[in-house]
Amino acid sequence: MTFDLSLVTAFLQVAMIDLVLAGDNAIVIGLAAAGLPSDQRRKAIFIGIIAATILRIIFALLAVHLLNIVGLVLAGGLLLLWVCWKMWQELRHTAESDRAAEAALGDGLLDTGEPQGAAAANGGGTKTLAQAVTQIVIADVSMSLDNVLAVAGASREHEAALVVGLVLSVALMGIASAYIARLLNRHRWIAYVGLAVILFVALRMIYEGADQLLGHTLPAIPLFKSA
């Protein structure tokens, strides 16, 4: 068995690219799962990441063809913007539930023995497992469109490096998102910071997609230039 330096180099490049760009994805996954009870939270993160990983690998393998689809990045940005809006609504609903629970506790009408955030998360009308998984898959795939070509370019002819690198980075991303989800349940204000990050990514994708669609005629906005 001969040592293939190009394969090792491709693997390292793919792993580094995905690890660097996994931060945004970990935030959105953590946000999507934060509204669930702890047992369902782990399940949502696992199912969502597995499904998203399969789709990301397919997208990366078809990167050359995806490059020819004008407007794909714009569509991904708009889709991510919709996910952002849904999460904003959920954060507002959770905040209102917390205030209602606090008022009920103050009036002696409610005594659950749970923290207010936990009571809101376990209450009726909150996010379901299916909703969380759907948000994770849509958001992760949408946010992957802007870096999938870079990953495919780094892997070159080595599909094995592409797959192994993606699986490794996604596994680490799953650990990070689980921690973020727990953190968001304790400190709700952090969710709004994460939401701002996701909104920025969505707006950047919309700008870049529209610029591509219009033949790169839009005025340059340094803030929206990808690294």
Tens-place pLDDT, residues 74-86: 887 888 788 778 7
Residue 123 has pLDDT above 50, yes or no: no
Find the mean pLDDT for residues 125-139.
79
pLDDT at residue 190 tops 50? yes
Residue ranges of domains in the chain: 5-224
- Report how far apart, in Å, the C-alpha atoms of 98 and of each of 8, 30, 41, 92, 123 are: 51, 19, 19, 10, 11
Q: How confident is the model at residue 112 (pLDDT cuts 50, 70, 90)?
A: very low
Task: Note the pLDDT tens digit of each residue in 142-181.
Answer: 766 655 655 665 555 566 766 676 676 677 777 777 777 7
